[in-house]
Each structure stands twice: as structure tokens, then as C-alpha cells.
Amino acid sequence: MSLLKAEGLSRRFGGLLAVDNASLSVPEGGLVGLIGPNGAGKTTLFSLLSGFLAPSTGRVTFDGADVTAEAPHRRAARGMARTFQIVQPFAGLSVRDNIAVGAYLRHAGRAEATRLAEAVATEVGLAPMLNAQASSLTVAGRKRLELARALATEPRLLLLDEVLAGLNPSEVRDIIPVIRAIRGRGVAILMIEHVMQAVMNLCDHVHVLSGGRMIAAGPPREVCADPMVIEAYLGHGAAARIAAGGAHA
């Protein structure tokens, strides 16, 4: 059964239909990618899935329950956690306390929340930084902290919004096994990602959004060879130019 299911989601901002009748599903324990050109509606779709925005039409179900009208904190309590593209840690707090904020969702006591925060820090490779102020972290460190804060809520589903953006190739290589290990212990993941190396390496299945609409879905290699997807990224006629071997595609 699907852990997360979105059916016919749309969201209008004034005259702009940012998400247009989009559907997708994430199976229990699956790792699914959501790709698409800039402005395609990916982050808006994430906000509809996680409850930060209400859809104009459509339905979201999580573990069989209709959560379309539920607030983000109620979805988090069910086991849905989301990271944000623009990372905003509590700059004046330590890494440990930043992660513990997520842990308080299920653990009222400070000692228990701190213990969980430390375990999560180890999982994402932040253990040596536990006492550091969040503001002192590098971009790569902040991305790991964002991941850790979401993981500390002990989710069944993680929605990752470009956790690899802004990282250099070696930082990307270092974090891919971390994401794979999270999935390996049964956490389902839906990830928005522009870094195709990561999508190819990690995802079982990929959905492609363009102009608010789902234009393709399937295994990563098939999707990336799909002429509709190539055109969405590179413009009209690109697929034909590439097929003809044109060097100027």
C-alpha cells in the first residue's frame, strides 16, 4: 500500500496555476524523486503534501487516512517530516539543541530528547559538531542539520527539498550514503532534487513536474531519456537535436 498518496492536487496563486492536477504516490519504505525545471511547482507541491499550503483541489492521504485538511504538526505526529530548501536553523542554539527541537515531538523529557538528538547527529555525521552553534556550520553542515531536525521527529516519511543544493561534488558524494542508510532502516523518502547524480543513484522511481503538471514518471534512467522530459529541461526541439547527434543540442 502507498504510504503517501496525492490525487489530483492543484494550487492556484491568483492567475497562476502553480500545481495543476498532480498525482503521485510513495510506497512504504520507498525512495522516490521529484524533479523538474525551475519554477515547475515542486516546492509548492511539497507544501501541499506537508500541509503548509491548502490545495485548491485534490486529496492527500497518509497511511490510508485523509490528511488534506490537517495542519503540518498533525501530519508530523503521523510520521511525515519535511526539510526546507532555505535552511533556517535556530542560529543561537547549539547543534544538539537544534536537533532536540524535532525530538520534543515525541519525547517530552529533555534527557530523552537530547539522547535522541545525539543518535541522529551520529547518523547524519554531525556528532563532532554537537556543541557548536548552528550559525558556525558550513553550508554542508547546515544541510545535514536540516536533515537531522526532520529525522529527530522519527518520521515514517521524509520530504527532502533539495538537501544537496549548494554542495560541492565531494560533499554530495559524502551525503548520498547517509540518505541511503536512512532509507535502509525503513524510512520512506520523497526528494526534490536537481543533482541528477543523486537521483540516479538513490531513487527507485521519479516523477517529473513541468509547468505544474506531471509530465512523466518511472525508473530514473527511463525518465531521463524521455523526450518530453528532455524538452521540458532544454527547450522545444532539444530531444530531436540530441537524437540526431547534434553537438549544439
Q: Number of residues in contact with ligand ATP, rule: CB under 6 A?
A: 11
Q: Give me the least distance between CB of 163 and ligand ATP, in Å please.
A: 13
Task: State in angstroms the smallest separation of the CB of 94 from ligand ATP.
Answer: 30
Query: Cβ of residue 95: shortest distance to ligand ATP, in angstroms?
Result: 26
- Provide the mask over 44-83, with x wherever binding to ligand ATP is found by CB under 6 A and - wherever it is not: x---------------------------------------
246 sits near ligand ATP (criterion: CB under 6 A) = no
Q: Rule CB under 6 A: is residue 210 a binding residue for ligand ATP?
A: no
Separation CA 126–CA 209 (nearest Å): 33
Among 26, 30, 35, 36, binds ligand ATP (CB under 6 A): 36
- Which residue of 4, 30, 42, 120 would you call a contact of ligand ATP, by CB under 6 A? 42
* 70 or 162: CB nearest ligand ATP: 162
For binding to ligand ATP (CB under 6 A), which residues are involved?
Answer: 13, 16, 18, 36, 38-44
